[in-house]
């Protein structure tokens, strides 16, 4: 089915002839959707887009709550040759104005609650159509779909054609639109399906957002490509996820899912028949990995990827899933560790910038050729901006973002090394280590520490641990105690925000 449309053909291959098979159970309403109904609705979405004048290659932007209809729209875009462009519901009107201006979509779909506020913005950006999609799936998008019949003939799309644009989270400067091709999405999800052994017998708990690569391309595409089922949750709720486990086989999450689940009762019993727990999008603490194994008997499988590249590495399905590592490069992905200044390959064990090449890598930033040229080399290697090393057994370790590297008195301090040490101090839950301006050292190391509240954290104990195990230049010049670390929806600690908060500590 859907021949000549590279991605669509692969998304439906496992469910051809299985129209009645279960694709999705909505965790809140209990409503179920079969594969036949899902693809039928995606075809009707594609027909509605075509009727509205959306041409192959046109962008369809959507800022809406997580719904099954949004997945139908995604597949509808693939079928009609449009480029799907999901946006985080947390973005403000000012941010939406930037995205619509930059991407110039033909159609913008928004939450009906934001329709009045966003209509003038979309009009200013010359967006031809503004439709709505509410948390219950209703709105003018669903109306347009319902006016069409299934049976849309998929538009031919080749491997190099764009399927989606995902904007990066933009912690440094403006967000950039990563252009993802049919090849990048199809090849990566097929690889992950195979290495993580997803089949039609699986049921995935889907509690991730679907405006981000993790929930959209990893979780959803793998489920579709395996012909598996998913339990679809509008958002993450630890008790709801635990309660779903006995009816499921796999969970994909960000590290905070796992730390929160560990605080629930009855986890060991609930997880008994699960097959696989995957973590990614932010570093999983080795401690969380160990606790999870102690409680459930399962070793969380940690993988590493990013918006621009989809997934790059994974711990092994069979074999040792090592805490604190992100495993090995995926089949077809080349990964090297390079000197940040010269780009030269570094010897095994050295810390440097990770560069990756493979069919998974994006085609460049939307309308930003100069940014593309800075980060995507002519030979196809993408400069990830992550610092890491490869150990003697070939496991990749991520030590942080290059921009989070601290240079104190001319010497490099890798935050993760200091964070891991302070995390061991009794009474500490977690730590973020940042560099802030310092008149003598250029930057000074500051540790932002979250105490567990049970016992008072002894700053002396933190300093003593650092003095014992760290060279002088790596030791924090200040320790700040806070209740929580600022995180984005994907669980990433917002270090840029912390740097701002503590910018004046020494000046």
Per-residue binder mask for ligand AMP (CB under 6 A), 314-333, x = binder: ------------x-------
Toward ligand AMP, which CB reaches closer, 86 or 280? Answer: 280
Residues 6+ apart with CB under 8 A from 106: 52, 53, 54, 55, 58, 59, 60, 82, 127, 128, 129
Q: From the CB of residue 30, how many other CB atoms can be counted at a distance below 10 Å?
A: 7
Q: Are 73 and 84 in contact (CB under 8 A)?
A: yes
- What is the spatial distance between Cα 59 and Cα 62, in angstroms, rounded to a whole number? 10
Residue 179: strand, helix, or coil: strand
Toward ligand AMP, which CB reaches closer, 99 or 304? Answer: 304
Q: Kindly tell me the sign of the dihedral angle through the C-alpha atoms of 378, 383, 389, 392.
A: negative
Kindly state whether residue 401 participates in binding ligand AMP, applying the rule CB under 6 A: yes
Among 35, 32, 2, residue whose Cα is nearest residue 18: 35
- Site residues (CB under 6 A) for ligand AMP, limited to 272-301: 280-283
- Site residues (CB under 6 A) for ligand AMP, limited to 371-390: 384, 386
Toward ligand AMP, which CB reaches closer, 219 or 490? Answer: 490
Among 141, 110, 140, 104, residue whose Cα is nearest residue 124: 104
How far apart are CB 87 and ligand AMP at their closest, in Å?
14
Residue 355: strand, helix, or coil: strand
Among 483, 454, 485, 497, residue whose Cα is nearest residue 256: 485
Toward ligand AMP, which CB reaches closer, 58 or 386? Answer: 386
Stretch that binds ligand AMP, among 25-33, 124-132, 302-310, 496-504 (CB under 6 A): 302-310
How far apart are CB 21 and ligand AMP at their closest, in Å?
30
How far apart are CB 284 and ligand AMP at their closest, in Å?
6
Per-residue binder mask for ligand AMP (CB under 6 A), 29-48, x = binder: --------------------
Q: Are 13 and 225 in contact (CB under 8 A)?
A: yes
Toward ligand AMP, which CB reaches closer, 202 or 308? Answer: 308
* Residue of the chain from 383, 398, 436, 444 that contacts ligand AMP (CB under 6 A): 398
* Residue of the chain from 236, 257, 304, 328 that contacts ligand AMP (CB under 6 A): 304
How far apart are CB 52 and ligand AMP at their closest, in Å?
30
* Residue of the chain from 302, 355, 375, 443 that contacts ligand AMP (CB under 6 A): 302
C-alpha dist (Å) from residue 22 to 30, 191, 196, 204, 503: 13, 23, 21, 12, 53
Toward ligand AMP, which CB reaches closer, 58 or 355? Answer: 355
Residue 326: strand, helix, or coil: coil
Toward ligand AMP, which CB reaches closer, 238 or 398? Answer: 398
How far apart are CB 198 and ligand AMP at their closest, in Å?
19
* Residue of the chain from 132, 203, 307, 372 that contacts ligand AMP (CB under 6 A): 307
Toward ligand AMP, which CB reaches closer, 33 or 188? Answer: 188
- Site residues (CB under 6 A) for ligand AMP, limited to 85-144: none
- What is the spatial distance between Cα 83 and Cα 129, in angstroms, rounded to a whole number? 15
Cα angle for residues 205, 208, 214 (degrees, 5° grid): 105
- Site residues (CB under 6 A) for ligand AMP, limited to 164-223: 168-169, 213
How far apart are CB 327 and ligand AMP at their closest, in Å?
9
Toward ligand AMP, which CB reaches closer, 203 or 384? Answer: 384
How far apart are CB 81 and ligand AMP at their closest, in Å?
25
- What is the spatial distance between Cα 81 and Cα 6, in angstroms, rounded to a whole number? 10
How far apart are CB 169 and ligand AMP at their closest, in Å?
5
- What is the spatial distance between Cα 397 and Cα 404, in angstroms, rounded to a whole number? 16
| Number of residues this chain uses to bind ligand AMP (CB under 6 A) | 18
Q: Are 326 and 398 in contact (CB under 8 A)?
A: yes
What is the token pair recorded at 237? Answer: 């709720």
Residue 352: strand, helix, or coil: strand
Toward ligand AMP, which CB reaches closer, 161 or 308? Answer: 308
- What is the spatial distance between Cα 53 and Cα 62, in angstroms, rounded to a whole number? 17
- Site residues (CB under 6 A) for ligand AMP, limited to 488-507: 490
Residue for token pair 């086989």: 249
Toward ligand AMP, which CB reaches closer, 139 or 327? Answer: 327
Q: Are 5 and 154 in contact (CB under 8 A)?
A: yes
Q: Are 109 and 61 in contact (CB under 8 A)?
A: yes
> Site residues (CB under 6 A) for ligand AMP?
168-169, 213, 280-283, 302, 304-307, 326, 384, 386, 398, 401, 490
């Amino acid at each position: 089915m859907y021949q000549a449309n590279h991605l669509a053909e692969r998304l439906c291959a496992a469910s051809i002839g299985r129209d009645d098979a279960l694709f999705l159970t909505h965790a809140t309403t209990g409503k179920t959707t079969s594969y036949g109904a899902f693809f039928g609705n995606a075809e009707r979405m594609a027909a509605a887009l075509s009727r509205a004048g959306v041409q192959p290659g046109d962008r369809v932007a959507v800022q809406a709550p997580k719904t099954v209809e949004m997945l139908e729209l995604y597949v509808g875009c693939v079928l009609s040759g449009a480029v799907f462009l999901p946006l985080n519901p947390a973005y403000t009107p000012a941010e939406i104005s930037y995205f619509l201006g930059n991407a110039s979509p033909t159609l913008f779909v928004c939450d009906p609650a934001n329709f009045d506020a966003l209509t003038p913005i979309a009009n200013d950006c010359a967006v031809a159509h503004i439709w709505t999609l509410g948390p219950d799936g209703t709105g003018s998008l669903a109306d347009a779909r319902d006016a069409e019949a299934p049976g849309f003939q998929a538009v031919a799309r080749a491997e190099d054609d764009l399927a989606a644009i995902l904007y990066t989270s933009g912690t440094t400067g403006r967000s950039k639109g990563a252009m993802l091709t049919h090849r990048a999405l199809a090849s990566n999800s097929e690889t992950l399906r195979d290495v993580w052994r997803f089949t039609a017998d699986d049921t995935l708990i889907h509690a991730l957002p679907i405006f981000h690569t993790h929930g959209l391309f990893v979780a959803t595409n793998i489920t579709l490509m395996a012909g598996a089922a998913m339990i679809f949750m509008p958002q993450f709720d630890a008790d709801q996820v635990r309660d779903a486990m006995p009816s499921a086989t796999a969970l994909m999450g960000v590290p905070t899912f796992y730390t929160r689940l560990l605080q629930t009762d009855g986890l060991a019993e609930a997880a008994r028949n699960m097959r696989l727990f995957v973590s990614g999008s932010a570093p999983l603490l080795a401690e969380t990995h160990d606790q999870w194994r102690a409680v459930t008997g399962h070793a969380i499988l940690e993988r590493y990827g990013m918006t621009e590249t989809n997934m790059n590495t994974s711990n092994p399905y069979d074999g040792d899933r090592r805490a604190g590592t992100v495993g090995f490069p995926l089949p077809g992905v080349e990964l090297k560790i390079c000197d940040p200044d010269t780009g030269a390959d570094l010897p095994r064990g050295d810390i440097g910038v990770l560069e990756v090449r493979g069919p998974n890598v994006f085609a460049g930033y939307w309308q930003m050729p100069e940014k593309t040229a800075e980060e995507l080399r002519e030979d196809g290697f993408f400069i990830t901006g992550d610092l890491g090393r490869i150990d003697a057994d070939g496991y990749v370790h991520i030590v942080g973002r290059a921009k989070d590297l601290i240079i104190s008195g001319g010497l490099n301090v890798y935050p993760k090394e200091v964070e891991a040490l302070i995390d061991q101090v009794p009474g500490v839950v977690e730590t973020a280590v940042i560099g802030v301006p310092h008149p003598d050292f250029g930057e000074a190391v500051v540790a932002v520490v979250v105490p567990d509240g049970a016992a008072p954290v002894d700053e002396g104990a933190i300093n003593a641990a650092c003095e014992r195990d760290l060279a002088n230049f790596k030791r924090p010049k200040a320790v700040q105690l806070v209740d929580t670390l600022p995180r984005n929806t994907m669980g990433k600690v917002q270090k840029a925000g912390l740097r701002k908060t503590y910018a004046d500590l020494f000046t």
